[in-house]
Amino acid sequence: MSDSIIVEHVSKKFTKQYHRTLKQVTVAMARRQQVSNSFLALDDVSFRVEQGESIGLMGLNGSGKSTLLKLVQGVMSPDTGSVQTRGRISGLIATGAGFHPQLTGRENIYLNAAILGMSEAETNRKFDEITDFADLGDFLDSPVGYYSSGMYARLGFAIAIHVDADIFLADEALSVGDKPFKVKCMKKMKEIRESGVTIFYVSHAASSVEKMCDRVLVLEKGRLGFDGDVKAGIKYLGYDDESEGTDEELGSEV
């Protein structure tokens, strides 16, 4: 098996506030306050992922999961270190990105699919599958501005999940849609997994990570705290303690 994602010594620094007004800067300087304010979102993170592995990326809020995902996706580039990937990247990351409320569902499918990297021919070929999956009925030719929030989200998911990828990233929890739709999504994700696609799945839900993934990475304040077995990772994070409520009770995704 070959490497699918290689992340080497990656760090990423962010500034807390960029756009300061003249007034703010003057006041801060007059009071001799510190003007720069930055923090490390990722701090020397390294790991390798083999083709076909399913990785669960876990961590508390603000631990750097989304930043890491954006670096793997190529939206951001690391300050130091390197990220390398093999093959086409897609996934449940840009669902509904670029949807224009005045365009119809049909027009938005083409636009969003192009944003996700699909060609016109590929979109044509998958169009029926996407519309079946989104289950919009005769709303397909109405502007998406008139869609219910569920329909809007379903359409976004349906497009994203049908992009052929070699690396599939999933950031958004499957928290949209009704139960039948969630079940359908999980089934499709399984299919993707079984076709040898590398999966990079960000989630707080221990049960779905356990179902989906065969390895877990845990980020702690930007550092890679754990890399290994799924059960051990969940335990490391303390998510196995059910005294504070199980996934079921808290209403997490399937």
CB of 169 to another protein, least distance (A): 10
Cβ burial 193-230 (10 Å sphere, 16+ → b, else e): beeebbbbbbbbbbbbbbebbebbbbbeebebbbbeeb
**Integer Cα distance of 58 and 217 in angstroms:** 6
Task: Name which position in 8, 47, 81, 111 contacts another protein (CB under 8 A).
Answer: 111
Which tokens belong to 24? 């703010």
Decide: is 73 part of the binding site for another protein (CB under 8 A).
yes
The interaxial angle of helices 149-161 and 179-194, nearest 10 deg, is: 10
How far is residue 227's CA from residue 158's CA, in Å, rounded to a whole number? Answer: 31
Closer residue to another protein in complex, CB, 15/243: 15
With tokens 């192009």, the residue in question is 114
- Position 173: which residue type? A
Distance CA(202)–CA(205), nearest Å, equals 9
Query: Could you give the dihedral angle defined by the CA atoms of residues 217, 219, 224 and 225, in that order, rounded to the nearest 10 degrees?
Result: -90
Under the binding rule (CB under 8 A), the answer on residue 87 touching another protein is yes
φ/ψ of residue 54, rounded to 5: -115, 115
- Asked if 127 is part of the footprint of another protein (rule: CB under 8 A), the reply reads no
Our finding on whether 72 is near another protein (CB under 8 A) is yes
- In which element (H, E) is residue 6 found? strand 3-15
Question: Closest separation between CB of residue 153 and another protein, Å?
Answer: 15
Among 10, 55, 57, 83, binds another protein (CB under 8 A): 83
Which of 57/94 has CB closer to another protein?
94
Residue of the chain from 196, 228, 238, 245 that contacts another protein (CB under 8 A): 196
User: Nearer to another protein by C-beta: 72 or 185?
Assistant: 72
**225 is a contact residue toward another protein (CB under 8 A):** no
**Residue 54 found at the interface with another protein (CB under 8 A):** no
* Closest to another protein by CB, 70 or 211: 70
Q: Is 188 in the site for another protein (CB under 8 A)?
A: no
Contact residues: another protein, CB under 8 A = 1-4, 6, 14, 18-19, 51-52, 70-77, 82-90, 93-94, 97-98, 100, 102-103, 107, 110-111, 114-117, 119-122, 125, 164, 166, 194-197
